[in-house]
Structure 1
Amino acid sequence: MKPNIGIMNALMRTGCGVAMLALSSAGLVRHRWNLIHVLIAFLAGVKMASGFHRYCPLTAVFKQSKQNSASSPPVEDTTLSLEEI
């Protein structure tokens, strides 16, 4: 996997992941096995992992689709003007 996010982006992802994990673990202490806190903890782990590895799968998909749309031929305009009506 080739890194596709910058260092500042990776640091922000890691920091937000740590903060989300802290908040969800505090919520789990108070309300044991609350589904929303478990979900937030999972998302925090994903966010921290993408920051550690400097690779985001969603960013890769968006970049790939952007390259594919840029290489496709332009679509013709098929709208009618007022003179043609």
Structure 2
Amino acid sequence: MAKKPDVHLVIDGCIQEGKKVYVKGEEYTPPNAELAARLIKAGTIAPIRSPSAQTLLRAQAPGPAAPVTPSAPPAGNNDDLLNQQEE
């Protein structure tokens, strides 16, 4: 049974493989172990479960949305056309 290829994450720069370009933050599976070792040593990719890859994934994850609260207009603001019409 063949071993499942290890998934890596591009952590610096980009990798072009044919017409496909893998940029920082994207998953990348190197075609062979030799290339994987060279890219890891160069700091271009990291195993998906490594601390550096996990840090990048957390940084890219969208955080909870901040609640939107309408702000009250400042007191004494005469620039509001609706208030000027009522006067």
Pairwise same-fold verdict (TM > 0.5): no
- Tell me the TM-score normalised to structure 2 length: 0.28
- Tell me the TM-score normalised to structure 1 length: 0.28
Could you say which structure has the higher helix fraction? 1
**Higher relative contact order, chain-length normalized (CA < 8 Å, sep 6+):** 1
The structure having more radius of gyration, on CA atoms, is 2
Could you say which structure has the higher strand fraction? 2
